[in-house]
Amino acid sequence: MKTYVLVDSENTPLQHADFARDESIELLIFIGKTQTKLPSDLVFAVQDMSPRARFIRMSGSGKNALDFHLAFYLGRLSTQDPSARFFIVSKDTGFDPLVDHLAARGTSVRRVPDASAFQPPPPKPVRPPVAKSFPASSAKAAAPSGAPPTETGERADYVSKRLKASPKSRPARLKTLQSTIQALLGQEHPLSEDDLRGIVAALQTRGVLSVSATKISYPQPA
């Protein structure tokens, strides 16, 4: 879609035309009769973009002379190219009734106070992902399904369920029990001797088993 940018340089002088580098933009800069100086960067840019960009100088002076010229060009261009978009670059709110009138007739037209409206928005900063944290009470729920627990009490409960699930193959000696616990819980990180003693003690406290020297006994089902 073609875009026409009409600039009121008396009210809103441009310093450059970088925003109009897009090939779909046609730039018309209206200059008052008494305006004798223009930024060199703007002049060279308009020359480089010709015929898409041009200066339109007023032949006479008078109140609102430039505004009338701009309004004339806007009306003619909107008739010649009704599917195009139009922007008036001016801080003069006197253009607003004309903008509203054309918009009501289906013309895509806006007034903007300066050329910054055509600048692309700055890229949004990329924030690194934030690792989620879980309270200690939900650590078990947050762990992957089937992952061995890490707390002594939870480890004892885990081992207890496994022992009760296989009553005929439960270890009868302490050494065998510790090996079983190591196999259940220490696959990724081997348990220390203290870890093993703590889990066995927790199993005894829970009434899961009893230890006598090196022998293990289990309570008889009621």
Section 178-193 average pLDDT? 85
Pair (110, 35) in one structural domain: yes
Q: What is the pLDDT of residue 61?
A: 79
The answer to whether position 137 is within a domain reads no
The answer to whether position 108 is within a domain reads yes
Backbone torsions φ then ψ of 131, nearest 5 degrees: -70, 135
Pair (84, 173) in one structural domain: no
The answer to whether position 183 is within a domain reads yes
The answer to whether position 125 is within a domain reads no
How does pLDDT run across 23-71, given as a tens digit for each residue? 888 999 999 888 888 888 888 888 888 899 999 998 887 888 999 999 9
Pair (8, 114) in one structural domain: yes
The answer to whether position 133 is within a domain reads no
The answer to whether position 123 is within a domain reads no
Number of domains in the chain: 2
Pair (24, 83) in one structural domain: yes
Residue 180 has pLDDT above 80, yes or no: yes
Pair (10, 55) in one structural domain: yes
The pLDDT confidence band at residue 108, using thresholds 50, 70 and 90, is very high
Q: Which of 118, 134, 158 is the last residue of a domain?
A: 118
Q: What is the pLDDT of residue 144?
A: 44
Q: What is the pLDDT of residue 147?
A: 62
Q: What is the pLDDT of residue 141?
A: 42
Which of 57-61, 78-82, 162-166 ranks highest by mean pLDDT?
A: 78-82
Residue 139 has pLDDT above 50, yes or no: no
Pair (56, 111) in one structural domain: yes
The answer to whether position 141 is within a domain reads no
The answer to whether position 24 is within a domain reads yes
Pair (100, 150) in one structural domain: no
Residue 158 has pLDDT above 80, yes or no: yes
Contacts of 156 (CB under 8 A, 6+ apart): 199, 202, 203, 206, 208
Pair (194, 95) in one structural domain: no
Section 179-200 average pLDDT? 86
Mean pLDDT, rounded, of the chain: 84
What is the Cα–Cα distance from 58 to 72, expressed in whole angstroms? 13
Residue 205 has pLDDT above 70, yes or no: yes
Q: What is the pLDDT of residue 142?
A: 41
Section 77-92 average pLDDT? 94
Contacts of 70 (CB under 8 A, 6+ apart): 6, 8, 30, 88, 90, 95
CATH code of the domain containing 160: 1.10.10
Pair (114, 207) in one structural domain: no
Domain range for 176 is: 146-217
Q: What is the pLDDT of residue 122?
A: 55
**Nearest CA-CA partner of 162 in 136, 129, 185:** 185
Residue 145 has pLDDT above 60, yes or no: no
The pLDDT confidence band at residue 12, using thresholds 50, 70 and 90, is confident
What is the Cα–Cα distance from 6 to 10, expressed in whole angstroms? 12
